[in-house]
Amino acid sequence: MSKHRLQKNNRIARGLLLGAITAGAVMIPVAPAVAQPLSIPGLGNIEIPGLPPVGAITPDAVVTHGQRALDAAQTKIGAPYVWGATGPDTFDCSGLVQWAYRQAGVSVPRTTYDQINGGTPVGKGDLQPGDVVLFYGTEHVGLYAGGGMVVHAPTPGQSVKRAPLDSMPFTAARRY
């Protein structure tokens, strides 16, 4: 007889436990499922919960090597010009270009005479930020900064600065 009483007590305990679990599950608030339809050619539309709406995801803007080089060069505005210097604290014109591109992970030749022969030719009307711009034949170089400006290391006694593109005689431009 005690065996039957134990079985009865176990059934009651299991019933109470099952009731508590069921009541708890019913009492938990549930957020409505959001499903966005996904159209697959040949298969039709499929609803996938949690899929963000079309247009909600935007790809990160692509940053070019030239833009990265320009960003690096602009951190050196105010650094002194020293003939033959390649940074990180002093620069000549081609040393600034080489150093800036190195920060962007791109190898650029050391001198203006070699920089004019590297990369891809770019017309003055097609310049993009970071393009290498040569002036006075191959005597001077800077980085196009957009908006008709360049960043360059001008001459001894001056510092790295921004200047209007048209303030120097344009020779050529290269894109690395």
Work out whether strand 44-49 and strand 132-135 pair parallel, antiparallel, or are unpaired. Answer: unpaired
Reference 67, options 41, 105, 116, 29; nearest CA is: 105
CA dist 46 and 38 (Å) reads: 5
Among 140, 142, 172, 173, the active-site one is 140
The first and second tokens of residue 2, run together, are 């005690």
Q: Is 152 a catalytic residue?
A: yes
In a domain, 150, yes or no: yes
In a domain, 55, yes or no: no
CATH number at residue 138: 3.90.1720.10
Under 8 Å between Cβ of 93 and 141:
yes
Q: Is 93 a catalytic residue?
A: yes
Among 70, 72, 79, 93, the active-site one is 93
**DSSP-derived secondary structure for 68-91:** HHHHHHHTTTTPBB-TT-BSSS-B
Strand (E) or helix (H) holding 12: helix 2-27
Q: Is 140 a catalytic residue?
A: yes
In a domain, 25, yes or no: no
168: left (phi over 0), alpha (psi -120 to 50) or beta: beta
In a domain, 121, yes or no: yes
From first to last of its 176 residues, the chain has per-residue pLDDT tens of 555 554 555 565 555 545 555 555 555 555 555 556 667 777 777 776 765 666 555 556 789 999 999 999 999 999 999 999 999 999 999 999 999 999 999 999 999 999 999 999 999 999 999 999 999 999 999 999 999 999 999 999 999 999 999 999 999 999 99
Among 76, 152, 174, 175, the active-site one is 152
In a domain, 162, yes or no: yes
